[in-house]
Structure 1
């Protein structure tokens, strides 16, 4: 018989554990372990989801910064510091873009008045019958180059506005057939030389097709494509314009049989549609700026523009727009 000091030891009523409790212990431990793992996984999933939901807009913002565009409305919370850093970088890029666009617009405005005076006086001298032939010839050259300078600044200004989404689109329902005809007529009037011939073919379905577009900007894009064929083929060429329509799209095809573009030149053009090309010593736009402006205008209309240059020569541009 064993005795214990009272107040120091506690007696147990039974030295036996029910068999039912022993049998239920392993399943109980398994269930508790499963619940613990589930709670940990749920906590991990919620934390990951919260982090990823905050990272997605930041990722989009960083991609936008990579293209030179500003990004705003970033999340706060656990990623507040990263969001603030991206926002500061975005603000800086926005200020730089605005300063660049304003600088180009300011230069274009400031140069317009003296350039107009130069062009007016040069045309007056060139058309003066009493002026010596060499003087009138030089005046005509000055007038032609002044027109190129004016067009260059207009193109740079438009390219800048399109690049930074500063050019509002005034969309309305319009027929591409009308826009193409006007662009061709303007090109012929601007360059009436007989060494350039134009052929136009418009399908019956395309004649009545309509698109939602800014008629002025779309006409400018088509005009740039036509002018590209004229500018880069001073020896003359044949320019063919085709207009076709499907159930969903309108296709405008402009191709010439001129010098075309070399393989490297075409590859550079395809890779650099986001960047403006420079001009040569005669202020003639290279395959680049005019077509890049056209590309940006088409993309602003959710369309597609593609270039190709066959080995045998010539240059082909296809514009695809959605019908409405």
Structure 2
């Protein structure tokens, strides 16, 4: 939580810095534009006016005032609308293009007012000459005055300037947001990669620096904990596998002795028939124990990828025919009927895989149908090609696989030796063999059909 607050605090701080920079930039740009216009108008334009002031109006031979040609050209060039000359009493003693709405006499207060602001909405320039007070006026609405004097053209385009400033602000905001976004993306990207690696059960170590350094440290510690747990689980699984293999080896010898004595007792004609039958039961149960031990050893090796695949090329159609014949010839009673169907597309198809393991998977499925349907049923063994895979189907019309077993197989996770789970070792081996070949295992038709598929390479 503290790390997130730290990142959030940095983000808020960066936001305030951005706002401060924007304010400074806006103020600087506005000040520069305004001062540039003021300096240009206050220094260049009045400078020309002062230079020409003494040359605008002169006296002729009869001592009459007149506007010189040079002065007229200057006034027209600079956009002045009229010109007048006031004596010390405020009377107009000379005028050029004087508007009709202006007076012929002005008081000292009026002169002081229009010298700074406007004369009847006319912006004017005033300069003291040897002949009197020279007043040059521009057109109405040609100059904006408010403490500072700015051309009306500038004020009319102030909206455009504001749009430019707003556009510049937007560009700055987007640039800074992009920079900060990239910066935070760069700092958080390793965290995302680390979490994704953890989800793939990989060990990671992130650099513990920057705003996300504390979070990186916690992820590293989590990775270390998970790694220790993974090693402990591997040691436990290895110990269990070794224990199962050891038990299998230790039981095999005494079990062989029991089966040998049982065979001798079954063949001893001196024993009562009931005793020989009991000896046969002992032998058959010993065979089941041996099969269970082999299944337990095989499923343990397949679960932890300790069973190497002896990959060969073979014809799955021929394999299915052989299995069906062997299954029938093993003394299958009449209450079970086995049917074989092979699609023409499968004939001639070559499959690469561990032929013996695949045989084991199909035998388990066939045996499962007879074992759980003591009253008999019809069994169908089918081979076909679907989406570049060899699909083997074993189905029957018996009681079907219980829903509890189906859920346990399809949602299998965790300890496969959990005593609370139903006995599914035979079907689990089928599923593991399919997965070991990068194939698929499915149960359909409400538990009456099992499909195992193997990719055709």
- What is the TM-score normalised by the length of structure 1? 0.79
Whichever of the two has the greater Rg, that structure is 2
- Asked if 1 retains the 8 angstrom alpha-carbon contact of 2:365 and 2:427, the reply is yes
Q: Does 1:138 align with 2:278?
A: yes
Rounded to whole Å, the distance in 1 between the matches of 2:259 and 2:348 is 41
Q: 1:250 to 1:211 in 2, by over 3 A?
A: same
Rounded to whole Å, the distance in 2 between the matches of 1:56 and 1:20 is 62
- Asked if 2 retains the 8 angstrom alpha-carbon contact of 1:261 and 1:309, the reply is no
- Asked if 1 retains the 8 angstrom alpha-carbon contact of 2:441 and 2:453, the reply is yes
Rounded to whole Å, the distance in 2 between the matches of 1:55 and 1:296 is 29
- Of residues 252, 266, 269, the one that matches 1:129 is 269
- Of residues 204, 207, 226, the one that matches 1:74 is 204
Instruction: Give 1 or 2: higher strand fraction.
Output: 2
- The corresponding residue for 1:248 is 388
- The corresponding residue for 1:321 is 454
1:246, CA displacement in angstroms?
A: 4.1
Rounded to whole Å, the distance in 1 between the matches of 2:205 and 2:323 is 47
Q: Does 1:301 align with 2:437?
A: yes
CA deviation profile, 1:112-136 (whole Å, cap 9, x unmatched): 0000100111111012221111211
- What is the TM-score normalised by the length of structure 2? 0.58
SS at match of 1:153: helix
Q: Does 1:94 align with 2:240?
A: no
Rounded to whole Å, the distance in 2 between the matches of 1:210 and 1:88 is 44
CA deviation profile, 1:115-163 (whole Å, cap 9, x unmatched): 0100111111012221111211111111111111110011111111111
1:237, CA displacement in angstroms?
A: 2.5
- Of residues 145, 151, 159, the one that matches 2:291 is 151
1:19, CA displacement in angstroms?
A: 4.1
SS at match of 1:317: strand
Unaligned regions of 5+ residues in structure 2, if any?
A: 1-33, 40-157, 208-215
Rounded to whole Å, the distance in 2 between the matches of 1:37 and 1:20 is 35
Rounded to whole Å, the distance in 1 between the matches of 2:408 and 2:310 is 32
Relative contact order (C-alpha < 8 Å, sep 6+): which is higher? 1
Unaligned regions of 5+ residues in structure 1, if any?
A: 1-15, 62-71, 280-285
CA deviation profile, 1:171-230 (whole Å, cap 9, x unmatched): 233221122233334433444433333221222221212222111111111111111012
How many residue pairs end up in the alignment? 291
Q: How does 1:1-324 map to 2 (within 5 A)?
A: 17-19=35-37, 30-61=170-201, 72-77=202-207, 78=216, 79-246=219-386, 248-272=388-412, 276=416, 288-310=424-446, 315-324=448-457
Deviates more, 1:134-143 or 1:245-254: 245-254
Q: 1:299 to 1:293 in 2, by over 3 A?
A: same
